[in-house]
Chain A
Amino acid sequence: GESVGLHLPTLSVQEGDNSIINCAYSNSASDYFIWYKQESGKGPQFIIDIRSNMDKRQGQRVTVLLNKTVKHLSLQIAATQPGDSAVYFCAEIYNQGGKLIFGQGTELSVKP
């Protein structure tokens, strides 16, 4: 049969706008979450993390929100720039030091 690749969700935003990337995680017992950015030809790059005892964490231009009730994670990027164009992955970890399991990713495209 014919192989079908993953169809990544795509978010297209205008330069300077804010971006919100969403992620549904799978394990209600996951206690640590990370957002990664992956540019073409490169490995995943750490952006920001959050532990399950928090519901919000801010970094430089980025904010992660965690809603454990509905197992939802979001990444907000303020004043999105062309250099932010990449695929963004959320990853969850169940028990410290355990498996880091990735979601399917969202492709962010920033229009100048």
Chain B
Amino acid sequence: DAGVIQSPRHEVTEMGQEVTLRCKPISGHDYLFWYRQTMMRGLELLIYFNNNVPIDDSGMPEDRFSAKMPNASFSTLKIQPSEPRDSAVYFCASSLQGYGYTFGSGTRLTVV
């Protein structure tokens, strides 16, 4: 298995622009998680899905953030409009029935 695949690996955008981060979970996994990592706050859970349904989005910082999972093999995290304080590394992870949480390599987002 190729593991959790995230794209792009790096993204540099201007403040105010829309940013879309993508994730392909491990095939067969039924949970998908989005995390953000910063020096200030460490690893924070933003949102997670079970069987493509959002279960808990209490970690999403603002309405500027939205996440979707249209099918079992794809999820997006969108920031619109982006701000410099959104600069961070965003990780996607997936698991099967609550075990084997596996992380992708992350997307490093820089908003200038």
Contact = CB atoms under 8 A, between A and B. Distances in A.
A99 B48 contact: yes
A61 B77 CA distance: 37
Q: How large is the interface on A (under 10, 10 to 19, 20 to 34, 35 or more residues)?
A: 20 to 34
A96 to B, nearest CB: 4
Contacts, number: 57
Contact of A104 (B31, B42, B101, B104): B42
Interface in A54-112: 89, 91, 93, 96-102, 104-105
Contact of B45 (A32, A46, A97, A101): A101
Interface string B90-106: 01010101111111111
B45 A100 contact: yes
A90 to B, nearest CB: 11
A6 B105 contact: no
Given A3-B40, A46-B100, A100-B45, 9 more contacts: A6-B42, A43-B93, A43-B105, A46-B102, A97-B98, A100-B101, A101-B45, A102-B35, A104-B42
A112 to B, nearest CB: 27
Interface of B: 4, 31, 33, 35, 39-43, 45, 48, 50, 56, 91, 93, 95, 97-106
A12 B35 CA distance: 28
Given A32-B98, A46-B100, A93-B98, A100 B42 contact: no
A97 B40 CA distance: 27
A97 B95 contact: yes
Given A97-B31, A100-B33, A100-B93, A44 B98 contact: no
